[in-house]
Chain A
Amino acid sequence: MTDMRQLYQEVILDHNRKPRNYGAIPDANRHADGHNPLCGDHIKLSMNVLEDKIDAIAFEGHGCAICKASASMMTGAVKGKSVQDAETMVEEFRGMATGTLDPESADHHLGKLKIFAGVKDLPSRVKCAILPWHTLHAALNSEASISTEGEADPVSDHA
């Protein structure tokens, strides 16, 4: 990945500038905080799960463009999905970012999210892209907070 335009595409820069579903869901029944202590990225996720379906979802926090765009696009992609389908996407996104799932050849449900595939060539940035997805996984499983370091490390645990 020598051409940064492959990763920093207009769509990622646009979600970074104007993140969708930004804020907090009042009376949310699921919450989680995701934190990357290495770079200070911090994602606060809130959602309402009704009858096994993600009815509403929002995030707030700060981070790099990769992290914010990933969070913004994720919230749009999983809204209205069943918990099971969202978990499948968490797995698929993790596989794509760590290089075990090739979005061009394998079946997946990631759609436009495949523009994040380029992070697999940037080991120090994989965690930026994955952080929102692990925060989603934690919220769906009622874990209050996750960190990209230590036991909860989403990359070393699963890659």
Chain B
Amino acid sequence: MKVERVPDEGMNGESTSIDQVRVDKIRADFPILSLQVSGKPLVYLDNAASSQMPQPVIDRIVRYQTQEHSNIHRAVHYLSELATKEFEVARVKVQNFLNAKESREIIFTRGTTEAINLVMHGYGRAFIGKGDEIILSGLEHHANIVPWQMLAEEKGAVLRVIPMNDHGELLIDQFEELFNAKTKFLALSHVSNALGTINPVKQMVAFAHKHGVPVLLDGAQAAPHQMLDVQELDCDFYAFSGHKMCGPTGIGVLYGKAQLLEKMQPYQGGGDMILSVTFEKTTYNVIPAKFEAGTPPIMAAIALGAAIDYLQGIGLGNIEAYEHELLEYATSRVSAIPGVKIIGTARKKAAVLSFEIQGVHPHDVGTILNADGIAIRTGHHCAQPVMQRFHVPATARASFAFYNTKQEIDKLVDGIRRVQEMFS
């Protein structure tokens, strides 16, 4: 299906950038943001782990469950046809969100992790063999390391890792030197979850393609925060999760170029992914059905479509600009506190602030901030190689969304000071 891309609201000429007035209106859309935690107003700064859900998405879920639910792609009755239509409308919304060429290039998965595993099984196990090389970056989340490690062990393939500098930026010269005749795949995060680094993926994809190497981008941390265009990036695969972009858990997306998806082997077998089955031979369905065995998370897919509508209503360009403003503010305020070190200082960063308070373990930081209602993530962020690179067992990480405010960052700064006082 070919559709016109929905214009980003912020591109209509009208000034709709996010300011104090608009952010107050946006916050009113999120019921959970008015929660009290430990008797204090919730300050939710753990958006890189999971974002919160606005009322229009909650309403869409309620409408689906109360008026539209049935199984899809099966029966001829009213509800089944309605649910099927809404599910496929959601697919077109994702296509539009990514600017993919065709809606059949959009596969619904459980999340980013399943999308990457699908590519590992469907492409990797079919086309990567003994002695072949797979390039990853040192910034990857475990979800973009472990599947490739499993493949390498099974096939006798080799993983090569792109190193980074002390700012958390990949070393592009060394990346280019990793390529040789055995290189068969590049799996790369668009944005680092632990440090916030935005990788120069367009340039890296172009280089990989010069060597005929297909590229998967892990977009879990990029999708909710900026305009995406998979045709412009020219990546072969793009994976992301619904729950990090105001949608529910249990839904994710794998975008893949049609000609690659067509030559891949199925990931899971079952209903919906077949054209015909006998005990002698099964004929697989066409894409995307070939990769959607069994009843999919129908409600979650439709809710993801509603989340995309919501984000596009605010404007991804506005979101990106406002979150950048929050990051700059947080970086200047937190780095001005003596004894606090920011880990991840790339020139191009998403709104993620990983930090270390001298002499205080991140878990103590997290527990003490929680008593002030402040939610941050502490730990290794499922990126242990990044922690090893920076010689820390864990970090504290504040990650911002378009519904956060500078006042909340001020509360974070006050909280960090209280932690320091307690441990002084």
- Surface stretch bound by A, among B82-90, B240-248, B357-365: B357-365
Identify which of residues 4-54 in chain A touch chain B, using a CB-to-CB cut-off of 8 Å: 4-5, 7-8, 13, 16, 38-41
Q: How far is the CB of B390 from chain A (nearest CB, A)?
A: 13
Q: In the bound complex, how far is the Cα of B38 from the Cα of A1, in angstroms?
A: 8
Identify which of residues 338-382 in chain B touch chain A, using a CB-to-CB cut-off of 8 Å: 360-364, 367-368, 371, 378-380
Contact B380 A40 (CB under 8 A): yes
Q: Which residue of B lies closest to A40 (CB)?
A: B393
Contact B367 A2 (CB under 8 A): no
Q: Hey, what's the 0/1 contact readout for A108-151 against B, CB within 8 Å counting as 1?
A: 00000000000000101100100000000000000000000000
Q: Does B423 contact A (CB under 8 A)?
A: yes
Contact A2 B423 (CB under 8 A): no
Identify which of residues 52-109 in chain A touch chain B, using a CB-to-CB cut-off of 8 Å: 62-66
Contact A40 B394 (CB under 8 A): yes
Q: Does B76 contact A (CB under 8 A)?
A: no
Contact A8 B379 (CB under 8 A): no
Q: How far is the CB of A21 from chain B (nearest CB, A)?
A: 20
Which chain A residues lie closer than 8 Å to B379 at the CB level?
38-40
Contact A65 B360 (CB under 8 A): yes
Contact B423 A13 (CB under 8 A): yes
Contact A64 B371 (CB under 8 A): no
Which chain A residues lie closer than 8 Å to B362 at the CB level?
39, 64
Q: How far is the CB of B320 from chain A (nearest CB, A)?
A: 32
Chain B: interface secondary structure? mixed
Which chain B residues lie closer than 8 Å to A66 at the CB level?
363-364
Contact B364 A8 (CB under 8 A): yes
Contact A39 B363 (CB under 8 A): yes
Contact B371 A4 (CB under 8 A): yes
Q: How far is the CB of A133 from chain B (nearest CB, A)?
A: 18
Q: In the bound complex, how far is the Cα of B8 from the Cα of A107, in angstroms?
A: 67
Q: How far is the CB of B3 from chain A (nearest CB, A)?
A: 44
Q: Choose among B39, B361, B394 the residue that contacts A65 (Cβ–Cβ < 8 A).
A: B361
Contact B393 A62 (CB under 8 A): yes
Contact B423 A65 (CB under 8 A): yes
Q: In the bound complex, how far is the Cα of B130 from the Cα of A30, in angstroms?
A: 45
Q: Which residue of B lies closest to A128 (CB)?
A: B363
Q: Choose among A2, A13, A125 the residue that contacts B38 (Cβ–Cβ < 8 A).
A: A2
Q: How large is the interface on A (under 10, 10 to 19, 20 to 34, 35 or more residues)?
A: 20 to 34
Which chain B residues lie closer than 8 Å to A157 at the CB level?
none
Q: Does B21 contact A (CB under 8 A)?
A: no
Q: Which residue of A lies closest to B373 (CB)?
A: A2
Q: Does B422 contact A (CB under 8 A)?
A: yes
Identify which of residues 367-405 in chain B touch chain A, using a CB-to-CB cut-off of 8 Å: 367-368, 371, 378-380, 387, 393-394
Q: A2-B371, A39-B394 are in contact. Are A125 and B423 (CB under 8 A)?
A: no
Contact B363 A64 (CB under 8 A): yes
Contact A3 B371 (CB under 8 A): yes
Contact A65 B38 (CB under 8 A): no
Which chain B residues lie closer than 8 Å to A63 at the CB level?
361
Q: In the bound complex, how far is the Cα of B367 from the Cα of A125, in angstroms?
A: 8
Q: Which residue of A lies closest to B359 (CB)?
A: A17
Q: Choose among B39, B361, B380, B387 the residue that contacts A64 (Cβ–Cβ < 8 A).
A: B361
Q: Which residue of A lies closest to B361 (CB)?
A: A64
Which chain B residues lie closer than 8 Å to A1 at the CB level?
371
Q: Which residue of A lies closest to B366 (CB)?
A: A124
Q: How far is the CB of B211 from chain A (nearest CB, A)?
A: 37
Q: Which residue of B lies closest to A63 (CB)?
A: B361
Contact A64 B364 (CB under 8 A): yes
Q: In the bound complex, how far is the Cα of B363 from the Cα of A8, in angstroms?
A: 13
Q: In the bound complex, how far is the Cα of B39 from the Cα of A8, in angstroms?
A: 19
Which chain B residues lie closer than 8 Å to A3 at the CB level?
371
Q: How far is the CB of B228 from chain A (nearest CB, A)?
A: 32
Q: Choose among B360, B363, B393, B394 the residue that contacts A125 (Cβ–Cβ < 8 A).
A: B363
Q: How far is the CB of B419 from chain A (nearest CB, A)?
A: 9
Which chain B residues lie closer than 8 Å to A4 at the CB level?
367-368, 371, 422
Contact A39 B393 (CB under 8 A): yes
Q: How far is the CB of B415 from chain A (nearest CB, A)?
A: 11
Q: In the bound complex, how far is the Cα of B366 from the Cα of A39, in angstroms?
A: 12
Which chain B residues lie closer than 8 Å to A64 at the CB level?
361-364
19 further A-B contacts with Cβ under 8 Å, apart from A40-B379, A40-B380, A64-B361, are A1-B371, A2-B371, A4-B367, A5-B422, A8-B422, A13-B423, A16-B423, A38-B379, A39-B361, A39-B362, A39-B363, A39-B394, A40-B387, A40-B393, A65-B360, A65-B423, A66-B363, A66-B364, A124-B367
Closest CB pairs A-B (n = 4): A40-B393, A64-B361, A64-B363, A4-B371
A selection of 8 A-B contacts at a CB cut-off of 8 Å is A2-B38, A5-B422, A39-B379, A40-B380, A64-B363, A64-B364, A65-B361, A125-B367
Give A contacts to B, CB under 8 Å: 1-5, 7-8, 13, 16, 38-41, 62-66, 122, 124-125, 128
